[in-house]
Every structure is written in C-alpha cells, then in structure tokens.
C-alpha cells in the first residue's frame, strides 16, 4: 500500500522555471549578487511562528529557513530604476509555506533594507515586515561579504561571507529547486491572506561555500540559533516582474 505521507516527506517536485505569468505588473526588479543560505529545522519550530492560515512546507520531513542577502534595483511600472533611491541591498529571512488554496510560496519573517522609502512602502503597501537597516554588499574576487545592522524596530546585526563556486548543472537536485524556484510570496492582513506573484527566468545557480560569520536575524525572528553549517547557493542576477497583491481565496 502506498504511504500517503511519503510525498510530504520527500517534498513536492519543483521545476526550475516559472509556471504562472504576472499579468498585472506592479514593478520590475533586478536581483543581483544574491546568496541563498539555508538551514533545516524541525517543522513544529517553524510552524509556531506562522499565521494559522499557513502550513509550513517540508522536504524529507524538514522545514527550511533561508537567509537571503542581495543587491536590488527597482523600477515601478512605467519608470526607470532611479539611482540611489531605488537601488539598494536587501536581506530577508524566509521559509516555505502552503496556503489554504493549496498553492505554495514564501513567507518572510523579516526583510531588511537601508532605504526608508522602501521600508515604509513594503510595510504599508504590501504588509511585509520590512526593517530599516544599514547594509553593505561587497565582492572581492570570488568572495562575497554581506553586512547588515538593523536600526529599527530593534538593533540586530549580521555579517556573513561565502565563496562563489562552479555553476550548478541542469540536473541540479530537487532540493535546490525546491528552495529557490518560488513564484509567489504571502502576507497576512486584517482582511485575510494576500499573495504577490513574481516571474523571472530560471535561476543561474552556482554552488557556494560558507566561510562563516555571525547573524542574529534568525533569533530575532523567534527561531533557535542554527547549530550546523548551512547549504549555500549564489546567483549573479535575474530580472524580475512583480505583480500587484491579490487576495488568497479560502478553500
């Protein structure tokens, strides 16, 4: 007899290409010099930090939390990316969830950015937990260093370094696709759950090596401090189309 829990333990197979186009464009973004740093957790630890309407997704019985620093350029619909104002680093802490309608996507515990306008817009317009921070993205050869010091709402800090490795081949593992090939985000509001769709080409993933550092962005979100070395990937750049927020229908 087929074990009905086997699919959940293994994790759904995620294809690396976007399968839903953004039709109502809110903005274009370019994500550059991006690193995915992931740690696995017991699902119950992550679930207790989520809204009751969302269920944590698992891969082979484990939940995953990502620390994702990068440099971003933003262009609202019909506008170019304005230097300084709409070009800045960002660091987010995220996990992967299933919504009441069965769709899957990203839940953000926090998003740090140094541009106060972006923080206010993200909090008020998108209901995302943006925080105002000083940040720096630095590359020296094949070594990337990301620094973040949160100014508001509470002071926390992060500084990590990774070494960029070789490109992942087309047969990269299901886990790598599962962690990175995500095409929508969720946000909780007083009127219910909302989603924002994102569309971009396949990630140009490269292997990366964790060189160390320190971060308390995860513990600030209510998670235990990681006790193991993370799984790390890097990508040079992707051009992204972001849709306007939509309501998520209850099943």
Q: pTM of the predicted model, to two decimals?
A: 0.91
Lowest mean pLDDT, pick from 74-83, 94-103, 225-234: 74-83
In this structure, are strands 104-113 and 130-140 parallel, antiparallel, or unpaired?
parallel
**Residue linked to tokens 């969830």:** 97
Under a CB-based contact definition with an 8 Å cutoff, are residues 162 and 35 in contact? yes
CA-to-CA separations, 229 to 25, 154, 238, in angstroms, rounded = 38, 26, 26
Residue 65 has pLDDT above 80, yes or no: yes
Pick the CATH number of 24-243 from 2.40.400.10, 2.130.10.30, 3.30.830.10, 3.30.70.1140: 2.40.400.10
82 — pLDDT class (breaks 50, 70, 90): low
- Over residues 190-220, the pLDDT tens digits come to 889 999 999 999 999 999 999 999 999 999 9
CA-to-CA separations, 184 to 3, 115, 119, 172, in angstroms, rounded = 29, 23, 20, 22
Report which of 208, 33, 221, 237 is spatially closest to residue 135, judged by C-alpha positions. Answer: 33
- Host H or E run for residue 197: strand 192-200
- Over residues 102-159, the pLDDT tens digits come to 999 999 999 999 999 899 999 999 999 999 999 999 999 999 999 999 998 888 999 9
């Amino acid at each position: 007899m087929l074990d009905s829990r086997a699919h959940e333990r293994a994790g759904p197979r995620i294809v690396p290409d976007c399968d839903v186009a953004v039709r109502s464009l809110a903005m274009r973004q370019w994500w550059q010099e991006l690193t995915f740093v992931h740690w696995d957790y017991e699902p119950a630890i992550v679930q207790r930090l989520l809204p009751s309407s969302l269920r944590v997704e698992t891969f082979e019985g484990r939940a995953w939390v990502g620390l994702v620093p990068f440099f971003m350029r933003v262009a609202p619909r019909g506008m170019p990316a304005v230097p300084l104002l709409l070009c800045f680093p960002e660091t987010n802490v995220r996990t992967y969830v299933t919504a009441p309608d069965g769709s899957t996507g990203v839940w953000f515990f926090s998003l740090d950015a140094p541009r106060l306008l972006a923080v206010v817009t993200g909090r008020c317009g998108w209901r995302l937990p943006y925080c105002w921070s000083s940040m720096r993205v630095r590359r020296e050869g094949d070594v990337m260093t990301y620094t973040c010091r949160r100014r508001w709402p509470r002071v926390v800090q992060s500084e990590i370094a990774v070494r960029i490795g070789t490109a992942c081949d087309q047969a990269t593992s299901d886990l790598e696709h599962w962690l990175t090939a995500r095409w929508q985000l969720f946000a909780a509001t007083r009127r219910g759950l909302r989603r924002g769709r994102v569309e971009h080409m396949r990630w140009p993933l490269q292997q990366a090596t964790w060189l160390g550092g320190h971060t308390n962005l995860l513990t600030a979100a209510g998670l235990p401090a990681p006790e193991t070395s993370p799984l790390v990937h890097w990508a040079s750049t992707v051009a992204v189309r972001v849709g306007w927020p939509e309501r998520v229908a209850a099943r």
